[in-house]
Structure 1
Amino acid sequence: MAHSGTAREALLAELLGDVAALLDRVDAQSQQMKCVSTALQQSIQGSGNTIAAIHAEVTAISTQAQVKAVAHVVRETYSLQQLGIQVQREAMVEVARTVVAQELANETQRVAATLRQLLRQAQTPWRLWLTHAATAALSAALTEVLCAAPWR
């Protein structure tokens, strides 16, 4: 049994050596874990700074894009407004021409009819004098009849 005691002691000694080696490795891993943790924290802080910078840049770009979009909308709206005004102006001119043409056509026809009548009268001025002459002759004849009447 002495032999089993020494074997046991040898196994325990070897086990203790393995445990010591394992503890040394755990301590080494612990140091590495601390280094990794520190590096990770620094990386997180750097990422936070980078994210803040990217956020600021994206905000600036989106603000600039918004300003450009609003300016574009304003230009297009003004252009469409001018086009609408031009189309409306042309429509109003056309309507005014139509109304004036209709009104002038009626008035022009009336004036033309009056002028035709005056032209006919100017071409035959004796008709107007013929009526006056007939009236004067009839008046003279009636006066003669009345003056030479037998009842006197």
Structure 2
Amino acid sequence: MDQDHRAREALVAEALGDISELLDRVEGLAPTLSSTCEAVTQASKQLEAQVAALESRMKRLADHAQDVAVKHIAQRTRELMHAAAEAEHQSMAALARALFLSELNPSLKSLLRAANDCARYQSSPRINWWACALSAVASAILVGVLAIQTLSP
């Protein structure tokens, strides 16, 4: 038993030596762990500062993008409104021309026909110049009134 007891003591002594060696190593790591902890803390603080700066830059970028989008939408809306107004103007002008031709053309032809008839029969005693002139003036007044009514909004 003595031998078993000695073997145990040797094992315990060897284990104590190993534990002592491990403790020495752990104590040697303490400064390294401390400096590593400080480096991680410093990196964390730097990262927080960079994130804060990035947040403000992203906010400015988003605000700028919003301003550009609003200006683009406003410009495009103005262009569409001008195009619609121009199309409406052209449509109304075309309608006015069509109405003018459909309503006034027959009156103008009648006026020309009456003037031509008066000129053709100028030597005839049956044609009264006053009647021709009165007919021409009446036709001209009629054409003017129709033109004003057609072109007025």
TM-score by length of 2: 0.69
* Structure 1 residue 120: Cα displacement: 4.6
| Number of the residue aligned with 2:87 | 87
Q: Which residue of structure 2 lines up, in the alignment, with residue 109 of structure 1?
A: 109
Deviation at 1:37, TM superposition (A): 2.7
Match of 2:149 in 1: none
Residues 83-134 of structure 1 show CA distances to partners (whole Å, capped at 9, x for unaligned) of 2222221222121111112222121122133224433542422x56xxxxxx
State how 1:1-150 maps to structure 2 within 5 Å: 1-125=1-125, 127=126
Most deviating of 116-125 and 5-14: 116-125
Question: Partners of 2:123 and 2:24 in 1: how far apart?
Answer: 142
Secondary structure, counterpart of 1:89 in structure 2? helix
Larger displacement relative to structure 2 (87-96 or 19-28): 19-28
Tell me what 2:142 maps to: none
* Number of residue pairs aligned between Structure 1 and Structure 2: 128
> CA–CA distance in 2 between the matches of 1:28 and 1:71?
65
Q: Distance in 1 between matches of 2:97 and 2:62?
A: 52
Q: CA deviation at 1:57?
A: 0.8
Unaligned runs of 5+ in 1: 129-152
Between the aligned residues of both structures, percent identity stands at 28
1:136 corresponds in structure 2 to: none
Q: Give the distance between the partners of 1:49 and 1:16, measured in 2 at CA.
A: 48
CA deviation after TM superposition for structure 1 residue 46, in Å: 1.1
Residue identity opposite 2:65 in structure 1: A
Q: Name the larger-Rg structure.
A: 1
Q: Distance between the aligned counterparts of 1:25 and 1:10, measured in 2?
A: 22
| CA offset digits 1:16-65 (Å, max 9, x no partner) | 01111222333344544333333222212211110111111111112112
Q: Distance between the aligned counterparts of 2:15 and 2:92, measured in 1?
A: 108
Distance 1:56 1:28 in 2: 44
Give the Cα separation in 1 of the matches to 2:7 and 2:87.
Answer: 111
Query: RMSD between aligned alpha carbons?
Result: 2.4
